[in-house]
Amino acid sequence: MRLASAEDLPAVVALTTQAYAPYTALLGAPPIPVTEDYAPRIERGEIWLLEEGSHLAGLLVLERHADHAMIFSVAVAPAFQGRKLGIALLDFAEEQSRSWG
């Protein structure tokens, strides 16, 4: 896992759009994570990337607040779905939140 940088913005947007595509079709409109502006979130250090080799497999958007942490989005690239990477991202969110106290 690593924090996203400004150079990762296009990949973050693409992965999120692909991961949420089934929900976009189901809901008839894109879910909020698809329409989000991720540049400020990257600047705040809220986006963590999960890579497998040279491929972006998933991402976690984790907000840090004074008294809690909040998961905004968990997204796994379609090619990597079904491999329990979403669970790995949630486990990381829990570990990161605990490290923040």
Q: Which helix (H) or strand (E) holds 37?
A: none
pLDDT tens-digit profile of 24-82? 889 999 999 999 999 999 999 999 999 999 999 999 999 999 999 999 999 999 999 99
Where do the domains of the chain lie, and which CATH numbers do they carry?
A: 2-100 (3.40.630.30)
Residue 16 in tokens: 């999120």
String of b and e for 7-21 (b: at least 16 CB within 10 Å)? ebbebbeebbebbbe
pLDDT of the residue at 93: 98
Q: Quickly list DSSP for 39-60.
A: HHHHHTT-EEEEEETTEEEEEE
pTM of the model: 0.93
pLDDT of the residue at 101: 87
